[in-house]
Amino acid sequence: MEFRHEWKHELNYPDMLILRPKLDAVMHRDSHAVGGTYQIRSLYFDNLYDKALREKVDGVNCREKFRIRYYNGDTSYIMLEKKSKINGLTSKVQERLTVREAQDIASGRTEWMKTSGRELVCELYAKMNTQGLAPKTIVDYTRDPFTFEAGNVRVTLDYNIRSGLLCTDFLSPDCVTVPVGDQFCILEVKWDAFLPDVIRDIVQLPGRRVTSFSKYEICRIYG
């Protein structure tokens, strides 16, 4: 499992409008983005006691969260992901899911998972049965992704964040999501061994400090 450094900054919209052309000047837009952006929908998991949420709020040093995600409304490419954080470093492992598999997991039909032969799917099945993990909430947002080869840097601007309230049928286009809180933008900066100075200088905005912001956390304000 490979771990990466990660910074997050909470920005306002004027910050984002100032920062975006600077990033465009020195970085590349992710080649998989459509028109320079992704529309991301994620289904997050937690247990009856909100373990993942509480560990995030309490700043637990070693924690993890599971989610299922797809992009731009395209259900032909759905990923199961586990994101881990240890000593301030992050890692992510992924496994591809079919539409049927994703729908089964979201609907609680999980017996097939234990014989899937896929490590991450089996791990989620085990934790759904031993820890009570279950689909909790949908998180929608728009992402502007940028890449820089040196340091394997990835910078993203996330905005238009919306919560699915109590809806977990994340494959349904009829699932209603609502905006959360005041409109803002989250700057995320991720890199491997080093962060090039040219990127460091751009993303360090006056008056903006590194934060532990979580889109899952903010989307749980409704329940």
DSSP line for 124-142: HHHHHHHT--EEEEEEEEE
Note the pTM of the prediction, 2 decimals: 0.93
Q: What is the dihedral of CA 112, 113, 115, 117, to 10 degrees?
A: 140
Which is it for the CA torsion 187, 162, 85, 145, positive or negative? negative
How much is the CA Rg of the chain, to the nearest whole Å? 17
Instruction: Tell me which residue of 105, 98, 99, 138 sits closest to 122, measured CA to CA.
Output: 105
| pLDDT tens, N- to C-terminus, the chain (223 residues) | 689 999 998 898 889 999 999 999 999 999 888 889 999 999 999 999 999 999 998 989 899 999 999 999 999 999 999 999 998 899 999 999 999 999 999 999 999 999 999 999 999 999 999 999 999 999 999 999 999 999 999 999 999 999 987 778 889 878 888 898 777 899 999 999 999 999 999 998 877 777 778 898 888 876 5
CA atoms of 1 and 120, how far apart (whole Å): 13
3-state SS assignment for residue 214: coil
- The CA-based angle 34-36-40, given to 5 degrees, is 60
CA atoms of 199 and 184, how far apart (whole Å): 22
Q: How many Cα atoms occupy the beta-carbon half-sphere of 97 within 13 Å?
A: 27
The CATH number corresponding to 5-219 among 3.90.550.10, 3.20.100.30, 3.90.320.10, 2.60.40.1840 equals 3.20.100.30
3-state SS assignment for residue 50: coil
Q: By the 8 A CB rule, do 186 and 203 touch?
A: no
Tell me, what amino acid is at 151?
G
